[in-house]
Structure 1
Amino acid sequence: MTLIERIANAAVWIVAAATVVFLLTPLAVTVAVSFGSSAVFTLPAPGWSLRWYEAMGRSRDLWPAVATSVQLAALSTLVALALGALAAIGLLRGRFPGRDFVVTFLVSPLMLPGLVLGIAMLEAFRAAGLTHVWTSLVLAHVVITLPYVVRTVYAALSLFDFTLIDAARTLGLSYPKAVARVMVPALAPAFVTSGMFAFLASMDNYPISIFFTDAWTKTLPIKMLQYVEESPDPMIAAISTLLILFAVLVLVAGDRLVGLRRMADL
């Protein structure tokens, strides 16, 4: 390795390390503040305490919002998995004009600002006469989670050998059984990966959910913003820390079930 190559390699590692530190520093600060004893955001903290986690456990308004977010994320993820898998199969196996346009259109919510999507869906739902809060939230979250499923399953299907289904049918299996026993296990990593990212995207969504919630139905991100506006104490840091821990646990589960390298490939 020449001197120039060594310098370039060192520069790449330095930039990568600086980027990681830049991205992780706010998370580290949030975790540290959540264990502080001060009633305000202070670092370094005058003392260490679990008072904000205890306050979070005693909060009566927080847990209904958590339950709403979990139920909404689970339901929208299941719907997105079903629709996204069918759409990916149809797009890959189908031969029709404009197929590439449809693929791009289905993943377009990942490219557009959430505020733009929220306003567009709000106007569309009003024009359709849809005023039910839960139905509006589920449909809106399906729109933002569907791209994760379509993109991941479509990539996995492009690597799947469909002749295996024909081989299974020649061995006596019906077409549905051949799909269930051959294709579904092969695509299980794609379903797990896309489901995890879709669930996290739904749990963390604020700019779209704000258009469809009301005073009785609020998701966790909206409730967190309300805490920041009304009582900005470190309890919000404790909630954020638990959300960070939840995301880490999801990634660990994904690593156990699929593997991080395979998840990255998908």
Structure 2
Amino acid sequence: MRRPLLPLLGLALAWIMLAASVIFLLAPLVVTVGVSLSPSPVFQLPQGELSWRWYARVGRLEGLLPAVLLSLQVAAFATAASLVLGTLAAIAVVRGQFPGREAIATFLVSPLMLPGLVIGLAMLQYFRALGLREALPSLLLAHVIIVLPYVMRTLVAGLALFDFALIDAARTLGLSYPRAVLRVMVPVLAPSFITGGLFGFLASFDNYPISIFLTDVYHRTLPIQLLQYLGESPDPTIAAVSTLIIALTLLVLFIGDRMVGLSRMAGV
């Protein structure tokens, strides 16, 4: 029996739109990698010959290593703090029975819905009102707010499927409540912790619109430092650094796939 033509056309159109979307999203990354391999000192794709000269110059960029280390330190701190705070907040949202519970849950993930420039400007004014003018503490606090929504979303979804009777059963076997949480709940929710932590770490490491308001001349994260290079000496070395960041992202996704699986990370 022949299948109707209209569903086949609809399926073909869906696949075409999927392929077009993937190409549209990946094209800038492919261009960045290509420019990093070009021997030309201007931003253009290689024409026949490939060169690694711009990667050799990466290590000689002034201020790059401190910027990378600062971004790693800030992202690691923000991820660790958000995992602790996000776990407690997610338990309260899932298990709590208090007015405004859904509003609080929405508020905790609201940084994902607001423009980064708005959040950055608001944080700058708020920190100044509190008398906090040092760049490093401001960056650490701001990046916790950046990472927390990623942790909250994954943990709320994970806790919604978790059977809290397992903790009660562990307590009847002699464990205290904190030990029951560590021995029972944490292993079960490990995929949620890993997924939220990985995406949150990348979001913090790559953040620009919020960090730009809080850095100073002594504390510049990697995206801010790259912006300075782009203004002072725009050459394909910046594309080489960007390619290394892309490789770091792919490495994180690979680790997540080995530990959790991409389907579970995507929530499929």
TM bucket, shorter chain = over 0.9
State the partner residue of 1:108: 110
State the partner residue of 1:160: 162
State the partner residue of 1:214: 216
How many angstroms does 1:139 deviate by?
0.5
State the partner residue of 1:202: 204
1:119-163 CA distances to partner (integer Å, 9 max, x unpaired)? 111111111101111100001111111111111101100000000
Counterpart-to-counterpart distance in 2, 1:166 and 1:136:
40
Residues 87-236 of structure 1 mapped to structure 2, 5 A cutoff: 87-236=89-238
- TM-score (normalizing by structure 2): 0.97
Q: Give the unaligned 5+ runs of structure 1.
A: none
| Number of residues of Structure 1 aligned to a counterpart in Structure 2 | 266
- Sequence identity (%): 61
- TM-score (normalizing by structure 1): 0.97
Counterpart-to-counterpart distance in 2, 1:170 and 1:84:
27
Q: Give the unaligned 5+ runs of structure 2.
A: none
1:60 to 59, 62, 66: 62
2:217 partner amino acid: A
1:18 to 17, 20, 23: 20
SS in 2 for 1:265: coil
Counterpart-to-counterpart distance in 1, 2:232 and 2:266:
40
1:72 to 71, 74, 77: 74
Counterpart-to-counterpart distance in 2, 1:44 and 1:238:
13
Contact 1:36 / 1:46 at 8 angstroms: preserved in 2? no
1:263 partner amino acid: M
1:190-215 CA distances to partner (integer Å, 9 max, x unpaired)? 01000001100001100110111111
1:8-45 CA distances to partner (integer Å, 9 max, x unpaired)? 10010011001111111111111011011111112233
1:67-126 CA distances to partner (integer Å, 9 max, x unpaired)? 110111001111111111110011111111111110010000000000000111111111
Contact 1:69 / 1:220 at 8 angstroms: preserved in 2? yes
Contact 1:34 / 1:238 at 8 angstroms: preserved in 2? yes
Comparing 54-63 and 127-136, the one that deviates more: 54-63
Contact 2:37 / 2:46 at 8 angstroms: preserved in 1? no
State the partner residue of 1:31: 33
Is 1:42 the equivalent of 2:44? yes
2:204 partner amino acid: S
1:141-192 CA distances to partner (integer Å, 9 max, x unpaired)? 1111111111110110000000011112222322222211110100111010
Counterpart-to-counterpart distance in 2, 1:130 and 1:216:
16
How many angstroms does 1:46 deviate by?
5.9
State the partner residue of 1:255: 257
Counterpart-to-counterpart distance in 2, 1:160 and 1:262:
15
SS in 1 for 2:175: coil
How many angstroms does 1:240 deviate by?
0.6
Contact 2:166 / 2:184 at 8 angstroms: preserved in 1? yes
Counterpart-to-counterpart distance in 1, 2:158 and 2:37:
42
